[in-house]
Amino acid sequence: MDAPISGGAAKAASGQMTMMTSARPAAYERANEVLDAMAGKVYRLGDRAGAGSKVKIVNQLLAGVHIAAAAEAMALGLREGVAPEALYEVITHSAGQQLDVREPHAPRAGSRLHALVGGRHLR
């Protein structure tokens, strides 16, 4: 069985992780109760180990692209003189919204977005 997870520390603490699993039916029979207890959502993606890890890789690639695009977009706005608070407010209430931007701490020091734009102009 493979069973990679996604969701971060907050979802782990609340038992709301997403789990991408694949296993033989007999393994699922033995593990279903434990899987369901560990995660808020368990995806059963096939009957051979490996499919869960493949889906996790795809998910991580998409997350990375979104983070990089958000950092570049925010950096562009900052270079053009737009206030970070204004960028955050508009983006979190319009079509530009996505995971790393809508985190309440995104425009502040220490966030992933802050690190990706090299901390420029973000406080």
Among 45, 56, 64, 58, CA closest to 17? 56
Selecting among 11, 41, 54, 56, the annotated active-site residue is 56
Backbone angles phi, psi at 114, to 5 degrees: -60, -45
Q: Hey, CA dihedral for 41, 64, 73, 120, is it positive or negative?
A: positive
State yes or no: is 56 an active-site residue: yes
Burial of 85 (0-12, 13-18, 19+ CB in 10 A): exposed
Catalytic residues: 56
